[in-house]
Amino acid sequence: MAHRTRERPRGPVAWAVLGVSVVTVAALLLLPLVVVFVEAFREGPARWVSAVSSPDTVSALKLTGLVLALVVPFHLVFGVAAAWLLTRYDFPGKGIVLTLVDLPFAVSPVVSGLLFVLLFGARGFFGPWLIDHGIRIVYAVPGIVLATLFVTLPFVTRELVPLLDAQGREEEEAAASLGAGAMHILFRVTLPRIKWGVLYGGVLCAARAAGEFGAVSVVSGQLRGETVTLPLHVEVRYDEYAFVDAFAVATLLAFSGLATLGFKAWLEERARRAMRTTGESG
């Protein structure tokens, strides 16, 4: 692999390209982030505190926490199982499985939410049956969890498939020939080697689960204090012209987004360093 060192930009063309890049990123990507904090603290820190500690915000925070607590562990297990299946076994229809795993990324969030309304909504396929039995899925918490499960499906699997592919099966086969069972191999041989990948995929999954707006807004019904997650609460307050409140809640989400970015950068740096040391010894 050609090892390229970066050089200082030379000549007017280079400086112009760099200038356009910096202005684009600053104006288009950085300014929106800055404006969130400026608007949130427009009326001082006390106002911010009262906005983020209001009962509605707290209940939204709790709901988002509940969604995270259900969705992330589910996808950690499913992601490892699916990636294991896709990289360790050959079976007819593998392409279909891969497509189904990737599909939620290709579907509009609004359409993702719609799918669950068509199934469980009042006029959906299971709607009449659910009404007869007094079960609410859409416009209730189960629908929010289902829609979030759907949109976050690809994250962990996508992270692990290339990792498991690159690793090969030799060590697992060695363990098997020494009499280790499948579970034993999974927990003692495979998982320890992909744990950072699992963590990385889990973090991306959690970030999306906490921040999903489109799909959740379709199935939520916006019942205050019941089915309003944090990203929805931002919209609710904004639509009520309570702009400072909306931006104050938005800072919570922006903070967690920034923390995710920082964590992601740290993990990538770690991986790069690990690759460099193995590259030197190998």
Partner 1 sequence: MAVTSVVLLTLVAVPLSALVLTVLRASSDAIVRAATDPRTLAACALSFGASAAAAFLCAPLGLAVAWSLARWDFPGRRVLDALIDIPFALPTSVSGIALTALCAPTGWVGACFVPLGIDLAFTRVGIVIALLFTGLPFVVRTVQPVIEDLPRDVEEAAASLGASPAQAFRRVLLPSVLPALMTGTTLAFARSLGEYGSVVFIAGNMPMRTEVAPLRVLAHLENYDYVSAAVVAVEMLVASAGLLLAVNLVQRRLVHRGTSNA
User: Least distance from C-beta 49 to partner 1, angstroms?
Assistant: 19
User: Least distance from C-beta 117 to partner 1, angstroms?
Assistant: 6
User: Contacts with partner 1 in 216-245 (CB under 8 A)?
Assistant: 217-218, 230-232, 234-235, 238, 243
Q: Which amino acid is present at 250?
A: A
Taking CA atoms, 254 is separated from 5, 37, 41, 86, 217, in Å, by 34, 9, 14, 35, 19
Residue of 150, 156, 175, 197 interacting with partner 1 (CB under 8 A): 150
Using the minimum distance from each CB to partner 1, give the nearer residue, 141 or 210. 210
If one asks whether residue 191 binds partner 1 (CB under 8 A), the answer comes out as no
Provide the terminal-to-terminal Cα distance of the chain, rounded to the nearest Å. Answer: 14
User: Least distance from C-beta 103 to partner 1, angstroms?
Assistant: 6
Taking CA atoms, 138 is separated from 78, 121, 236, 269, 276, in Å, by 24, 6, 19, 42, 50
Dihedral-angle region of residue 136 (phi above 0 means left; psi in -120 to 50 means alpha; beta otherwise): beta
Give residues with Cβ within 8 angstroms of 194, minimum separation 6.
Answer: 80, 160, 163, 164, 167
User: Least distance from C-beta 70 to partner 1, angstroms?
Assistant: 13
Residue of 159, 172, 212, 245 interacting with partner 1 (CB under 8 A): 212
Please name which of 25, 15, 54 lies closest in space to residue 245, comparing C-alpha atoms: 54
Residues contacting partner 1: total by CB under 8 A: 86
Using the minimum distance from each CB to partner 1, give the nearer residue, 124 or 178. 124
Rounded to an integer, what distance in angstroms lies between the CA atom of residue 30 and that of residue 20? Answer: 14
Report the alpha-carbon angle 266-267-268, nearest 5: 90
Half-sphere exposure for 81 (CA within 13 Å, toward CB): 7
| x/- track of binding to partner 1 for residues 83-122 (CB under 8 A) | --x---x-------x--xx-xx-xxxxxx--xxxxxx-xx
What φ, ψ does residue 43 adopt, rounded to 5°?
-105, 25
User: Least distance from C-beta 264 to partner 1, angstroms?
Assistant: 7
Dihedral-angle region of residue 60 (phi above 0 means left; psi in -120 to 50 means alpha; beta otherwise): alpha
Q: Which stretch binds partner 1 (CB under 8 A): 20-28, 176-184, 193-201, 271-279?
A: 20-28
User: Least distance from C-beta 277 to partner 1, angstroms?
Assistant: 20
Using the minimum distance from each CB to partner 1, give the nearer residue, 30 or 49. 30
User: Least distance from C-beta 90 to partner 1, angstroms?
Assistant: 12
Residue of 49, 258, 274, 275 interacting with partner 1 (CB under 8 A): 258
User: Least distance from C-beta 246 to partner 1, angstroms?
Assistant: 6
Please name which of 120, 119, 151 lies closest in space to residue 135, comparing C-alpha atoms: 120
User: Contacts with partner 1 in 33-72 (CB under 8 A)?
Assistant: 33, 35-36, 39
